[in-house]
Chains A and B, each alone.
Chain A
């Protein structure tokens, strides 16, 4: 089979050619069936697959926070209670996914390799704007599947080493890429999370306060959207929260999250509406 990586064979000419430094383009030329967009559904088909739900992101004084709930749903069934929907894309950025979980996770995996591949071949980090645009073109490639219901709508956030600040990029299903201001949310619970972020976010939040606001916004989303999972105190499942700043991208540890979740839940006990 041409191009299949097998240990005992001469590397295909495609490996040795001076092509681009894009991994996705290379895979598309040599093994197109490995790309999420390399498969087509029969016309008119629709599949019921697990969906990821709410992602929130917000800027803070030194960078950006991205957080996601842990629930995946399939119709009215909870498909997964502890799914991760926020991923580290590279050392300075994170990507959160809402939409068809299988396709989205595959897309993120491809995107992670894409960024690392560029880094190794070029010996340089891609600019944040460049990384955001690469993700946009990958979503564009998924349009065919999206039109048959397998939609992926990520949010991308990272630390811009040029301007030394955090940035949030949102996408639409056609691959449109938009720079967001202070905060953003995608997914089924985003309507409610956005409302909460509007009221709770302000410029220059400390990292601790920003983590708190993100958890509170997810709590509000879970309160009103059945597809978004709230903090599960019984099973000790907390939202996924990531922070990106000049130190790089990382996840907030469970101990810290537990503390924040306990505060939010306690504050809401006597105030279920969350009025301030």
Chain B
């Protein structure tokens, strides 16, 4: 009879953490930041169909980096959780804090008990009546939760991105300015290998890369200009009644990102263009 090798729990957890961090560092980043009228979510994501940012409930949204299939199942679980709670109690009883707790328990249990930890990092954000009441919870692969103030950067090279974001962000920015800050940070952060050359870059993330936040070896931090077509942008708009989540795309996003254009905030309606209620494109609307 063969005896199983003894692996000290410290080593086991460290290995799992290293594994999860590598997976996360491979992907493109997501930035969540407060602005004067709500919370904005900016992801580098050229896909129109596979989202990294999603509505959860009236005032709650979700953003994630890492393995799509893993955070997608958590996103669906969050919507189910919120809708069930809202249906059996009241819409006001659905809170980001309770959802973040459930996520933390789930992710933590997977980290310690399952074969493989989740290779993801997620943010659950809830927009409040004023920016002081906004809540941003960041959850990492091991189930730890952090209550963030104002802004978060996740994914490849998130440490540098957060540092840079800390220098540029201040409370009460208009949406246009906040988005430009986020795009600047996303573009100047040393991009993860996936952003440079596709998914076959596992080998490129050595232990050194992980140690400094997943950045590829020094010297590759080339500034990139991200345009509207490479971004997935959404907001939780504080002033909107009931469902506050809106995606921002098309000409509206281009106008918000442009320094020359006077558009600084998302319009409250985009109804000339019927379709999915959560999408603002500004296609038929003159600038405000």
Q: Which A residues form the contact surface with B (CB < 8 A)? A: 5, 7-11, 15-16, 18, 23, 26-27, 30-31, 34, 90-92, 109-110, 113, 116-117, 119-121, 123-125, 161, 246-248
Contacts and interface: CB of A to CB of B under 8 A. Distances in A.
B51 to A, nearest CB: 7
A26 to B, nearest CB: 6
Contacts of B217: none
Interface string B47-86: 0010100111000000000000000011011011101111
Contacts of B274: 92, 161, 246-248
Contacts of A121: 76, 79
Main secondary structure of the interface of B (DSSP, over half): helix
A136 B194 CA distance: 47
Contacts of B277: 90-91, 119, 125, 248
B88 interface: yes
Interface stretch (B33-41, B97-105, B131-139, B207-215): B97-105
A124 B278 CA distance: 10
Which 5 residue pairs across A and B have the least CB separation, nearest first? A15-B77, A7-B98, A10-B105, A91-B277, A11-B106
B84 A7 contact: no
Given A8-B105, A124-B276, A248 B271 contact: yes
Contact of A120 (B73, B79, B84, B98): B79
Given A120-B55, A161-B275, A11 B102 contact: yes
Given A31-B88, A34-B87, A121-B76, A16 B276 contact: no
24 contacts: A5-B84, A7-B97, A7-B101, A10-B105, A15-B76, A16-B73, A16-B74, A23-B83, A23-B84, A23-B87, A31-B84, A31-B88, A92-B274, A113-B87, A116-B83, A117-B83, A120-B54, A120-B83, A124-B276, A125-B275, A161-B275, A246-B274, A247-B271, A248-B271
B77 A5 contact: no
B109 interface: yes
Contacts of A8: 101, 105
Given A10-B109, A120-B54, A120-B55, A30 B84 contact: yes
A116 B80 CA distance: 11
Q: Which of A9, A10, A30, A116 gathers most chain B CB within 10 Å?
A: A10
A208 B108 CA distance: 58
Nearest to A161: B274
Nearest to A23: B83
Given A109-B87, A123-B51, A248-B271, A5 B106 contact: no
A5 B85 contact: yes
Interface of B: 49, 51, 54-56, 73-74, 76-77, 79-81, 83-88, 97-98, 101-103, 105-106, 108-109, 243, 271, 274-278
A5 B97 CA distance: 13
Contacts of A9: 102, 105
A100 to B, nearest CB: 20
Contact of B79 (A18, A92, A117): A117
A12 B109 CA distance: 12
Nearest to A6: B102
Nearest to A7: B98
Given A34-B88, A124-B276, A125-B275, 19 more contacts: A5-B81, A5-B88, A7-B101, A8-B101, A8-B105, A11-B103, A15-B76, A16-B106, A18-B76, A27-B84, A27-B87, A31-B88, A34-B87, A110-B87, A116-B243, A117-B79, A123-B49, A125-B277, A161-B275
A119 B49 CA distance: 14
Contact of A125 (B49, B73, B79, B276): B276
Contacts of B81: 5, 11, 15
A8 B86 CA distance: 17
Contacts of A18: 73, 76
B248 to A, nearest CB: 15
A239 to B, nearest CB: 24
Nearest to A9: B105
A110 B86 CA distance: 11
A7 B84 CA distance: 13
A140 B88 CA distance: 22
Contacts of A16: 73-74, 76-77, 106
A11 B276 contact: no
B102 A26 contact: no
Nearest to A15: B77
B87 A11 contact: no
Nearest to A90: B277
Nearest to A124: B276
Nearest to B278: A119
Q: Which of B49, B81, B102 gathers most chain A CB within 10 Å?
A: B102
A247 B51 CA distance: 27
A30 B81 CA distance: 11
Given A120-B56, A161-B274, A248-B271, A7 B102 contact: yes
